[in-house]
Amino acid sequence: MDTTQRTEQQRSADRRRRELLEAADRVVLRDGPQASMNAIAAEAGITKPILYRHFGDKGGLYAALAKRHTDALLDSLRAALDAPAERRERVEATLDTYLAAIEARPQVYRFLMHPAEGGQTGDQGFDVGKHSAPLLRRMGEELAQVIEDRLDLGPGSQQLARVWGHGIVGMMHAAGDWWLGERPCSRAELVRSLADLLWGRLAAAGDKMGGPGF
């Protein structure tokens, strides 16, 4: 098999995988945490063994969907952080971007963070903690890098940036999870309250020379 044939086969495999993920997305939007491999296979017009061939098990499919949605969310968060606005406005825009994302697609959020609600944890040994925790860690590390790149935090800046990155992500996740379930206030009110909580030392930190700030 020559290079051209291998490249075309890879493109075909990538296209098929993307189609299967889009089918999985449709089922997750409909069923949330109750989304099953059987339903996803039916939506894609294939048998479950073929779905397993592409993703291994429900954990593999979950990881692929999680990467798809996390990549999109991180792109949106970076855009909010780098928008031409005052720092407080960008902090609020970043918080709002996260909350708007989980509000717009609550079934996807629940599938990624609370799949046990659907009673499907026995599907090939699927374990929410094993799979969801890396998502939050990845977001924490990404935000830490943004903070380190844009703020002058003085000595120990790398460690402090990681503390802040993971702390902010943990706060957004916990507060957003509670808010999505109970809706005790508007999204705008929650954004302002969380920004107030963050604003102390963040407001006082200097911007690094040549950067857009945070």
What pLDDT shows up at residue 125? Answer: 44
* DSSP string across 128-166: HHHHHHHHHHHHHHHHHHHHHHHEE--TTHHHHHHHHHH
208: left (phi over 0), alpha (psi -120 to 50) or beta: beta
CA atoms 90, 93, 99, 102: torsion sign? negative
Structure-model confidence comparison of residues 188 and 127, the more confident one: 188
Quick one: which of 23, 80, 99 has its CA closest to 55?
23
Asked whether 43 and 23 are in contact (CB, 8 A), the reply is yes
pLDDT interval class at 5 (50, 70, 90): low
| DSSP-derived secondary structure letter, 210 | T
Task: Write down the pTM of the prediction.
Answer: 0.80
pLDDT digits (tens, 9 = 90+) for 32-61: 888 889 999 999 999 999 888 888 888 888
> Topology of domain 62-207, per CATH?
Tetracycline Repressor; domain 2 (1.10.357)
> Partners of 68 in the beta sheet?
none
Asked whether 108 and 70 are in contact (CB, 8 A), the reply is no
Question: How many C-beta atoms surround the C-beta of residue 54 within 10 A?
Answer: 16
Cα(148)–Cα(211) distance, rounded to whole angstroms?
11
Residue extents of the structural domains in the chain: 62-207
Evaluate if residue 71 carries a pLDDT over 60. yes
What pLDDT shows up at residue 45? Answer: 93
Cα(50)–Cα(145) distance, rounded to whole angstroms?
39
Evaluate if residue 123 carries a pLDDT over 90. no
pLDDT digits (tens, 9 = 90+) for 136-163: 898 999 999 988 888 888 888 899 999 9
Evaluate if residue 106 carries a pLDDT over 50. yes
- 151-152 and 206-207 beta bridge pairing: antiparallel
Max CA separation in the chain (angstroms): 62
Task: Quote the mean pLDDT of the chain.
Answer: 84
Cα(145)–Cα(191) distance, rounded to whole angstroms?
22
Percent pLDDT > 90 in the chain is 40
Q: Which residues contact 25 (CB under 8 A, 6 or more apart)?
A: 65, 68, 108
